[in-house]
């Protein structure tokens, strides 16, 4: 898919195509639709981020809560599963799984949303270290960090989905 195709979509198709970029939150794509056309993937991403950040606090909180715990044994979206597998979270030792489960519980108990981290380029040790450090932050600091991580995650997802080629030139993904 490329940007020209995105720019020519009706709202229903646009939301169906981009609604999964922000975890279980198609309202972000729906809100971004009114800003068509987009000149770049970066502009589309920024509009989607602005839509998410500009929502009511309860809606942003729902977005944060829509993210799965890392290394959970529960069902996750295909995008989340692929991202976690790439970081080796599907290959944790029983001890690592237990430690990450404990950290996830502590984190969620304190912040009331799951630990969110863009795991691309990271390994399981990086992830465990990050949650060990971040669980000690203030709620305000961690709210902002979680939104920043969502920005990284969604940027990866959009760039994976779209070829940033102006005017339909070049190959599309």
Annotated catalytic residue 67: yes
Annotated active-site residue in 45, 67, 136, 159: 67
CB count in 10 Å sphere of residue 102 = 11
Q: Please, which residues have CB within 8 angstroms of residue 82's CB and are 6 or more apart in sequence?
A: none
CA distance 106 to 74: 18
Ordered DSSP codes for 123-154: -HHHHHHHHHHHTTS-HHHHHHHHHHHHHHHH
**What residues are labeled active site?**
67
């Amino acid at each position: 898919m490329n940007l020209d195709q995105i720019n020519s979509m009706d709202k229903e198709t646009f939301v169906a195509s981009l609604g999964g970029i922000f975890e279980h939150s198609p309202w972000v794509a729906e809100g971004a639709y009114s800003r068509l056309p987009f000149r770049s993937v970066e502009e589309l991403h920024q509009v989607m981020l602005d839509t998410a950040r500009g929502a009511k606090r309860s809606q942003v909180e729902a977005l944060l809560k829509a993210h799965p715990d890392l290394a959970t044994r529960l069902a996750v979206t295909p995008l989340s599963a692929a991202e976690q597998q790439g970081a080796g979270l599907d290959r944790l030792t029983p001890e690592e799984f237990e430690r990450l489960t404990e950290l996830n519980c502590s984190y969620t108990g304190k912040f009331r949303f799951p630990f969110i981290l863009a795991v691309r380029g990271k390994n399981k040790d990086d992830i465990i270290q990050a949650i060990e450090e971040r669980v000690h932050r203030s709620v305000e600091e961690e709210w902002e960090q979680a939104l920043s991580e969502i920005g990284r995650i969604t940027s990866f997802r959009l760039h994976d989905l779209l070829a940033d080629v102006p005017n339909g030139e070049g190959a599309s993904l």
